[in-house]
Chains A and B, each alone.
Chain A
Amino acid sequence: GAVVSQHPSRVICKSGTSVKIECRSLDFQATTMFWYRQFPKKSLMLMATSNEGSKATYEQGVEKDKFLINHASLTLSTLTVTSAHPEDSSFYICSAIPSGVYNEQFFGPGTRLTVL
C-alpha cells in the first residue's frame, strides 16, 4: 500500500517551453503533498507544500510564478515548470501524506527534467 506515482519519469524539452509533472497517490487520499528538487549528488530541497483545495505554500527562494502547483483532488498534484531554462534541469520528487496520518511521507519515483 501507500504507492505514489509520477508522470513522466523523464522529460526533455526546449528552453522556453512549459512542462507539467503529475504526482498521484494510487491507493490512498492525500490532503498534503510535497514537491522536492534534487540536484546531482545533492540532498532534497523542499520547494513547496501542496494542499488540496488551497494555494500551495512555497519555501523561501522558490519562485511561485515559475513553479506552478495545483492540487485539485485528493489524489493528484501537478507541478508546472513554466518557461523552462537549462538551470531548471533537475530531478523532481513528490511525496504524499495519507489523510489522517501525521508522521510519514511516501515518495514518488521522481521525474528527470532536462531543458536543452
Chain B
Amino acid sequence: AQSVTQLDSQVPVFEEAPVELRCNYSSSVSVYLFWYVQYPNQGLQLLLKYLSGSTLVKGINGFEAEFNKSQTSFHLRKPSVHISDTAEYFCAVSRMDSSYKLIFGSGTRLLVRP
C-alpha cells in the first residue's frame, strides 16, 4: 500500500520569501509523484509531476520539486511567493501500473502574507 505524509498543515510566509512544502511517501513499488493546488471551492490543478528522468521537476507558476528516492521525499519549492499563491497544496502518488489511483496527502495550506 502507498501513503503520503504532509507534515505541515499550514505554512505562513511573507510575500516574496521562499517556501518549501514537505512531502514524504511510502510505497513498496515504484510510484509517480504529483503536486496539486486547490483554490477555495475549486477542483485541483496540477502543478507538476515526476514520472522518470531528472529528479528536479519544474512546474507552473514558478514552482519546482525534487524527487529524492533515498529519503522518499518530493518537496515543493518556490523561490519567491506571491499573495496569489495562497491556497491548499496536495502531494499525491500513484502506482506505476494500470490502476491510476491517486493517494493524496492531507494537504498543506500555504498562507502568504503581505
Contacts and interface: CB of A to CB of B under 8 A. Distances in A.
Interface of A: 4, 6, 32, 34, 41-44, 46, 49, 91, 93, 95, 97, 102-110, 112
A46 B42 contact: no
A95 B101 CA distance: 11
B102 A103 contact: no
Most buried by B among A4, A6, A91, A97: A91
B105 A104 contact: no
B100 A110 contact: no
A46 B98 CA distance: 16
B12 to A, nearest CB: 16
B32 A44 contact: no
A112 B44 CA distance: 14
Contact of A105 (B90, B102, B103, B105): B102
Contact of A43 (B45, B98, B101, B104): B104
Contact of B105 (A6, A34, A43, A95): A43
Given A103-B32, A103-B49, A46 B43 contact: no
19 contacts: A6-B43, A41-B107, A42-B106, A43-B107, A44-B90, A44-B102, A46-B103, A93-B44, A103-B51, A103-B100, A104-B34, A104-B46, A105-B100, A105-B102, A106-B46, A109-B43, A110-B41, A110-B42, A110-B43
A78 to B, nearest CB: 17
A107 B39 CA distance: 13
Interface string B22-58: 0000000000101010000111111001010000000
Interface residues of B, number: 22
Contacts of A106: 46
A110 B41 CA distance: 7
Nearest to A109: B43
B86 interface: no
Given A44-B90, A104-B49, A93 B43 contact: yes
- Please list the 9 inter-chain residue pairs (A to B) with the smallest Cβ-Cβ separation, ordered nearest first: A107-B43, A107-B44, A109-B43, A43-B104, A43-B106, A110-B43, A44-B104, A108-B43, A43-B107
